[in-house]
Amino acid sequence: MSNAALRPNDMLPLTPAVFHILLALADGEKHGYSIMQEVSRITNETIKMGPGTLYGTLKRMLEAHLIEETDERPDPAMDDERRRYYRLTAFGERVAQAEAGRLALLLNVAHSKRLMGGATS
């Protein structure tokens, strides 16, 4: 699948797994296990991805050009070279921003309708 004709908004809404992976990769390239650790950290360990879900989603994201593989190793001395690292593409970053903006709009609406009170108080 090519994203040549796609705009970020065409990809929305994202599935939770895709958005979580985009968020995990927002601060640099990571391999599968470190992606899961980051997802686990940012969701207070409420999201647990099995191997099939993680790599199935990564495969779809590669095909959609949201992420790409990289040969760079953050710390070669500490690393297993058989691991595969992934990072956001420029398109993936724009899609993540668009999804974050969409969710922020929804949060504003929820806030204005006083639906956030129970969660914050």
Interacting residues toward another protein by CB under 8 A = 32-33, 36, 48-56, 59, 80, 82-84
Cα–Cα distance for residue pair 88/96, rounded to 1 Å: 9
Q: Which is nearer to another protein, 84 or 111 (CB)?
A: 84
Instruction: Compute and round to an integer the Cα radius of gyration of the chain.
Output: 16
Secondary structure (3-state) at 81: coil
CB 77 to another protein: min, Å: 18
Min separation Cβ 71 and another protein, Å:
15
Nearer to another protein by Cβ, of 28 and 32: the residue is: 32
Angle at 6 between CA 89 and CA 43, to 5 degrees: 50
Q: Is 102 exposed, middle or buried (0-12, 13-18, 19+ CB in 10 A)?
A: middle
What is the chain's length? 121
Tell the smallest beta-carbon distance from residue 53 to another protein (Å).
5
Q: How far is the CB of 98 from another protein (least distance, A)?
A: 26
Q: Tell me whether residue 52 or residue 76 sits nearer to another protein (CB atom).
A: 52
**68: helix, coil or strand?**
strand
